[in-house]
Structure 1
């Protein structure tokens, strides 16, 4: 019964159980769990150097993966809070939790700040100083991207590409592994290939949706973005081939020159991904990588060949 002197409309409303549940779910969705697969790149340098066979290395890489995931989630939360109004005008992004009102903007900012602080503090406490510095640099660069750099032509592509490169570097930095120049060039231009292909696909798919896409896509031409991803693919392939050929001779115990043979699988993987880029359907790289079975098989063959090369089998 309502209290005397009040009406049913004036009674205090109890929090909706559905609302209480939807907030954590919305925060998790905003953190982009499907994008966490990118952070597997932290094992790239140790794997290339054959340094994954010790419990210490595995434990350190697990910590680095968790810290990088927290940092990336913080960036997603802050980015979506800043872009909430623009996302509401987008045909797809309007369904993001912050834009849809499932996660209040102040909550997104607060959780993002907590995750960023946790990532930096955890790196300082649990990792080497260089690892903490690299993670701090990643966060600073990505926050600058959210605020300003994503509106600067070409620089926006460079910043996103550098984020991938930092993921690939941090595992080696954490374990004190020297990073090959060919490894850095291959990884950097491979990342630029995927980033430019993603932008190209977005430009193709949303060409008729003026004002409902990334602001810079109206300034890039599809011809320019096609040129960038084709150039990046060529440099990545060339650098990988030079890396494989420069890595030394074949061990006496090896059955075949696996490192050199892995060039075939690498080139096939690039060519297969380029099919989706050319069609304008590479807007979600994680979907291409996870859902295309031939590409997955080629990737497994490449990983097997490179693993055999590292093990000198």
Structure 2
């Protein structure tokens, strides 16, 4: 069972918290019906993401055997056979479709979004896009944006352009940082696309995207402040976001792999900063 959980990359489900953003920022967090729908959407998307990870591991099995850390993955190490992985991925696809049917019935938009997510990731892994510089980042970023719109369509709310912009630039920043550290600490031989990047290029564009992230988030907070009487609290949220980004950047400079999940959960200070930011944001949205 442990190998199957590892194969499904359960720890990466944290990325799917983006599905709750439209719920939270539309002021509907305590709407039980919408909260239940968002939770089901979270489960559906998490299973879809696991499906993508499994198919990617099947496709990259031989390459992963040569990688210093990926060789320990369940399929590459032989702990889970390809046949078992295909069976699990089929079950996950069926569950994703059933949960979407439960969420929206005959409405096709939600199912189309999640199937599109699965499709672009299959093309990414098996169609060679993962070996194309810039395009590999574009597909990964699009996956984060789809999460937000999937959550919004689940509860029928609109997505702020500044929310979308923040997610786009932050996702690109994270992707650039991960590639930067892969090249710096593991070399460019572990993935074909890495040979087409340079550390200098990744560094410059990382911080361009970080600056755009903070600018977009500031405008997003301004938009929220206009709708409330708590301008000072939103300014405080911007300040905390700056500290979080600075702390994350400092960690990425030292982190051997630059994996966002490992960085986030591996540092107490950044966890505390994110927790305080979240508390102030929720307090401002729902009680002030």
Provide the TM-score with structure 1 as the length reference: 0.86
Q: Supply the distance in 2 between the matched residues of 1:248 and 1:78 (Cα, whole angstroms).
A: 43
What do residues 219-263 of structure 1 show as CA deviations (whole Å, max 9, x unaligned)?
Answer: 2111111122111101010011112123344745x5x62122211
What residue is the counterpart of 1:186 in the other structure? 166
Matched, 1:87 2:67: no
The counterpart of 1:226, out of the listed 180, 203, 211, is 203
**Cα distance in structure 2, aligned partners of 1:90 and 1:246:** 46
1:32-79 CA distances to partner (integer Å, 9 max, x unpaired)?
A: 111111112211121122211111012101111110111011111111
Structure 1: runs of 5+ lacking an equivalent? 1-23
Gaps of 5+ in 2: none
Does 1:70 pair with 2:50?
no
Cα distance in 1 for partners of 2:226, 2:4 equals: 51
- Asked if 1 retains the 8 angstrom alpha-carbon contact of 2:103 and 2:154, the reply is no
Alignment size in residue pairs: 285
| 1:265 and 1:302 in contact (8 A); partners too | yes
The answer to whether 1:267 aligns with 2:247 is no
Determine if the alignment matches structure 1 residue 118 to structure 2 residue 95: yes
- Between 79-88 and 295-304, the greater mean CA deviation after superposition: 295-304
Match of 2:175 in 1: 195
Question: Does residue 40 of the first structure (1) align with residue 6 of the second (2)?
Answer: no
How many angstroms does 1:280 deviate by? 4.6
Q: How does 1:151-230 map to 2 (within 5 A)?
A: 151-207=131-187, 211=189, 213-230=190-207
The answer to whether the Cα contact below 8 Å between 2:65 and 2:71 also exists between their aligned partners in 1 is: yes
Secondary structure at the counterpart of residue 100 of structure 1:
coil
Query: Is 1:305 aligned to residue 280 of structure 2?
Result: yes
Distance 1:47 1:275 in 2: 29
* Pair member with larger Rg: 1
Contact 2:22 2:148 in 1 (8 A): yes
Q: CA deviation at 1:120?
A: 2.8
Pair 1:140-2:119 in alignment: yes
For residues 72-92 of structure 1, the C-alpha deviation after alignment (integer angstroms, 9 at most, x for no partner) is 111111111111111111111
